[in-house]
Copies of this chain bind each other. A is one copy, B any other.
């Protein structure tokens, strides 16, 4: 037997010990790492004629990163929007809503200005002043009516927005506007997002291509506040503002209103859709083949961005579709799907990779929707779990447990009552969610 080299052994052990100690000392602090559910990278997005982007470091709250972005929309751009229904929504949201509801002169062009680091929410009269100052300064610099400048703010709540830091940078922003700057704009509005989110589509119009490109932020935290979601989608389609708004409103329920990270609704959620009309294709006529294709493509872009928001959900390790079929009405289907997707017990079971279908039954029961225990069918992916009011005789716990190890899961519930169906998308509830949100703000 060879003699043990105790010195070498001690060295190795010392190294191991110091590694383990380091790991032990820093368990809870959330590292700034990319979500395990993130796509490989930011996608290549098409240039949309008539849309230019710029971003600067204004130091609103963060240092050493761009935190204000400006988007110029060419004259003739139609603008549509949907916003949070929160009764405590931020001043910039109220301002956008008022401007979109008013008489609009599309010929003038438009602009969007967004800052991260401060949400300008619950800031009373000074919040309104800040919105007027920022949008007024952009309007002046770009020679637009103030009624055509839309703004968003995302970040800490209840702190006055240091708007002079933003207005001081507007000349720089205007100078830097360029057609290929969409990724930079997406990055400037990130808070604790772990990746920038983009999606696109191309539709064959009459006489040419119609392009759609969109960016989103959500749902990270840093200050922390609630998970705010901001979405901007651009297209070169020729389409009236009225028709654009109709399509957007029709598709929002099955896309952005069908995702949930933690059931908490932001004061700042905003989605603006702008159509510049610069595609060579003819104007999109209502009920045409192109209108149908365009709306489908728009929905695909919206859904893609919505899914990316869930994939960046705080602490998320699983991307989950909750698919409800056989409901008495679409409202019931949505209600059941949301009850499952928002249940802390379902979400912690998913985090624990536990096929805990009893909690799914519980969530169906509490949803308030019409449901008959004895007609329920529950599947985890392809694994039939329960049917006719009880665990399926063919149920294999091993198969279900193996399925739950995946990153992407489908929980399917058939209520056995009608034909309505809805899906929602969510993520799991993990220790990192607590780490991120139980941290003191300072």
Q: Which of A84, A267, A376 has the most CB of B within 10 A?
A: A267
A352: interface (CB < 8 Å)? yes
Q: For the complex, give the distance between the alpha carbons of A433 and B430 in Å.
A: 10
Q: Which 6 A-B pairs have the closest CB atoms?
A: A157-B358, A88-B365, A86-B365, A352-B438, A124-B390, A265-B366
Q: Closest CB-CB distance, A404 to chain B, in whole Å?
A: 9
Q: Closest CB-CB distance, A238 to chain B, in whole Å?
A: 37
Q: Which of B157, B373, B430 contacts A438 (CB 8 A)?
A: B430
Q: Which residues of A, 302-361, contact B by the 8 Å Cβ criterion?
A: 342-345, 348-349, 351-354, 356-359, 361
Chain B's closest residue to A397 (CB) is B442
Q: A158-B390, A264-B345 known; A370 and B439 CB under 8 Å? A: no
Q: Which residues of A, 32-88, contact B by the 8 Å Cβ criterion?
A: 84, 86-88
A361–B158 CB distance below 8 A: yes
Q: Which of B87, B124, B266, B373 contacts A372 (CB 8 A)?
A: B87
A24: interface (CB < 8 Å)? yes
A131: interface (CB < 8 Å)? no
Q: A88-B364, A365-B89 known; A431 and B430 CB under 8 Å? A: no
Segment from A4-12, A132-140, A185-193, A205-213 that makes contact with B: A4-12
A250: interface (CB < 8 Å)? no
B434–A434 CB distance below 8 A: yes
Q: Closest CB-CB distance, A408 to chain B, in whole Å?
A: 18
**Contacting residues, chain B, for A390 (C-beta < 8 A):** 122-124, 126-127, 158
A183: interface (CB < 8 Å)? no
Q: Which residues of A, 1-29, contact B by the 8 Å Cβ criterion?
A: 4, 6-7, 9-10, 13-14, 16-17, 20-21, 23-24, 27
Q: For the complex, give the distance between the alpha carbons of A123 and B390 in Å.
A: 5
Q: Which of B10, B121, B362 contacts A267 (CB 8 A)?
A: B362
A292: interface (CB < 8 Å)? no
Q: Which of B6, B156, B345, B371 contacts A10 (CB 8 A)?
A: B6
